[in-house]
Structure 1
Amino acid sequence: MAELTPVTPEALDALALRLTEVESYLHLDEKRERVAELEHRVAAPGFWDDADAARSVMAELSRDRDDIAAVERAREGLGDARTALELAAEMDGDEELLAEASATVEALTRSIDEMELSSWFTGEFDHGDAIVTIKPGQGGLEAQDWTFMLFKMYMRYCARRGWKVTVNDCPAAEVIGIDRATFTVEGKDAFGMLRAEAGVHRLVRISPTDAKKRRQTTFAGVEVIPVLPDDIDIEVAPDDIRVDVYHASGPGGQGVNTTDSAVRVTHLPTGIVVTCQNERSQIQNKAACMQILKARLYELELQKRAETLDEIRGPKTDIGFGNQIRSYVLYPYQMVKDLRTGVETGNVDAVLEEGDLDPFVIGYHRWATGNADGAAE
């Protein structure tokens, strides 16, 4: 178990200042008023007559309540830490009380980090859900294996954050790894957090498929787009799409793999192709495909209006040398390093096997919002 950092009154004062700033960033007084207003609307007769509008209101209410509760918990934790520190001083440095104060401050620091991060999310979709696609780049068979490694890493990261994941498409490659993966992530700030991952990811290791055990460099690309809220409607003409059905492959169970449940939707005017095979019925898979297609069409429309896609998923680049946002080196040394922010770690297993991505995600958003000199890592 890691040794806890000793707590000082000055450290608690610094945390109290950060917490006050966070409360200001989050406009807590306005949110308390908004919660009262929304609770009044929820209690009104006929609130659920428009189910889509009602769900939107409930989602906003839940977010605002969560922000208020998080600040209140943090203030309570700060008070507990001060009390423990004062009692420890009165008892000649009681080690148990000092350890309690240190543990409280450690948890409090993580909580304030999270609230600061959420306050930086000002994009239209940052607080909503995300659609993530991983594709192999340069590297042949190795790239397909690397795609699967990234897929597992993101599954563990989403689990750590308590997000719900629906795997839409994840077909196995013929020899090793997967051809691609597309999955939908539902949870607080999912798109805002995960857009830090959009770009090219580079792996350096001894190739498990090379009998001569030579070092191999391979690449995979990660795309992150928002799930569009219900009030944004993208029209797709029936004549503009072609729908193909086929046997599902890869994960999904026997019931999926023995029926023509997988669906491929091709948008003819743009050439966009979306496949989904997670669900057991064609109807469910087609619905998932259409959700992803509409999100991609919306992104395409934004691209036409702007010179860059930075606000949504970062610039488009070839999935190969010179374009990586992060390097994962397993040989001749071990290190994961984000080339945009300089955040790095030698604990490769914590990242790839346990999904410990928060230092990289938070580091990216501090860098991207000009808050790189904020709280210490």
Structure 2
Amino acid sequence: MLQKLDSLEEKYEELGNMIGDPEIISDLARWQQYVKAHADLTDLVAAYRDFKKIVREIQEAKTLLDEEDDAEMRDMAQAELDDLVEKKEVLEQRLKVLLLPKDPNDEKNVILEIRAGTGGEEAALFAADLFRMYSRYAERQGWKTEVLNANYTDIGGFKELVFLIQGRGAYSRLKFESGVHRVQRIPSTESGGRIHTSAATVAVLPEAEEVDLEIDPNDLRIDVFCASGHGGQSVNTTQSAVRITHIPSGIVVSMQDEKSQHKNKDKAMKVLRARLLDQVQEEQQQKVASTRKSMVGSGDRSERIRTYNFPQNRVTDHRIGLTLHKLDAVLEGDLDETIDTLITTDQAERLRQVD
């Protein structure tokens, strides 16, 4: 590990010199590539330099301990040594985590899809609650959100909602949210006070750029039609709504939120590109013989991942056995504790497999 870290530190210094080279600065694309590579190594190199400093200080403390005769001074040196050894172990673990292979999608924006599942109108209302929860979380992170498509119900729920979350590292924080979210509560329409269980499905897709995959225009069938509102009634007389079918995969994306056909087509292509990239990456992962299925789950859309229990003000993440009695706060976007635990669990599982 130390040999690899030495090599990466050397590379970091080389990149730093290249960034300041006038010849490279004149080539913007090349310069940006080096700047990104340099930035990607910054945390790792800083941690490694701290680690080396601690190692030197440990050696100095050991030397002092060997040479010191005064009992009080020896006790002080031993206490300092114990503290340094503890810091070294923490840094060693951090370096192992930083050396884990990076998910190439981690820094990308997210296309998040929420669909009402079993439970009728109650499931649609829960889908709206989840949309609010993720919107509030994005707001806390300083990320931007934009609704791409929404299929509303008459009482304020969503049958389906697709929205874009733009912000650095959005996918790295939200990628473990894919799966079935279950709610247990007494619906407002329930006169007997019985608790009902319903569900909604969340899919988290990294936003795909055009460079991520090439889509052959000949593989697309594009239909235009009049947008519809609640109950299916036509809300305008112009054919602004767009339906794009990717013929080879069978993926269909409809978009009607914008009054402009061109804007709806752009949004539909954004969602189609993300779904296709997700499909391609899933197929690639399945081809790997030793496919990893960590404790935080496979990301399978059919996997039940979390339960939101209103009578007990409780949220339980079933993958990691985490239960929080602050449902109200979670639904207001207080997701960091859950997300941090999911990320830590995933890192621990990956480290275990490396070892």
TM-score when scaled to structure 1?
0.65
Please identify the structure whose Cα radius of gyration is greater. Answer: 2
Alignment correspondent of 2:170 = 190
Q: Which range is displaced more, 280-289 or 363-372?
A: 363-372
Alignment correspondent of 2:91 = none
Q: Which amino acid aligns with 2:305?
A: I
Alignment correspondent of 1:349 = 328
Q: Percent identity?
A: 30
Alignment correspondent of 2:151 = 171
Distance 1:304 1:43, change over 3 A: closer
Q: CA deviation at 1:122?
A: 1.1
Distance 1:29 1:286, change over 3 A: farther
Superposed CA offset, 1:187-216 (max 9, x none): 121111111111111111111122323211
Alignment correspondent of 1:44 = 25
Give the counterpart of 1:338 among 300, 312, 317: 317
CA distance in 2, matches of 1:34, 1:304: 35
Alignment correspondent of 1:12 = none
CA distance in 2, matches of 1:236, 1:65: 36
Alignment correspondent of 2:109 = 129
Q: CA deviation at 1:118?
A: 8.1
Alignment correspondent of 2:55 = none
Alignment correspondent of 2:268 = 289
Distance 1:288 1:338, change over 3 A: same
CA distance in 2, matches of 1:140, 1:146: 10
1:303 has 2:279 as partner:
no
CA distance in 2, matches of 1:347, 1:131: 27
Unaligned runs of 5+ in 1: 1-23, 48-52, 75-113, 251-255
CA distance in 1, matches of 2:152, 2:340: 32
Q: What are the residue-to-residue correspondences of 1:217-366 with 2, within 5 Å?
A: 217-247=197-227, 249=229, 260-307=239-286, 314-318=298-302, 323-331=303-311, 333-353=312-332, 355-366=333-344
Contact 1:168-1:182 within 8 A present in 2 as well: yes
CA distance in 2, matches of 1:261, 1:38: 47
Two-structure CA RMSD over aligned residues (Å): 4.1
Distance 1:239 1:301, change over 3 A: closer
CA distance in 2, matches of 1:209, 1:55: 61
CA distance in 2, matches of 1:317, 1:356: 23
CA distance in 2, matches of 1:372, 1:303: 18
Contact 1:35-1:65 within 8 A present in 2 as well: no
Superposed CA offset, 1:2-57 (max 9, x none): xxxxxxxxxxxxxxxxxxxxxx7xx677556535534647973353xxxxx57964
Contact 1:35-1:61 within 8 A present in 2 as well: no
Unaligned runs of 5+ in 2: 51-93
1:205 has 2:185 as partner:
yes
Count of equivalent residues: 296
Distance 1:60 1:288, change over 3 A: farther
Contact 1:248-1:259 within 8 A present in 2 as well: no
Give the counterpart of 1:146 among 101, 105, 126: 126
Give 3-state SS (helix, strand or coil) of 1:134's partner: strand
Distance 1:38 1:328, change over 3 A: farther
CA distance in 2, matches of 1:279, 1:143: 26
Give 3-state SS (helix, strand or coil) of 2:188's partner: coil
CA distance in 1, matches of 2:136, 2:300: 26
CA distance in 1, matches of 2:109, 2:38: 15
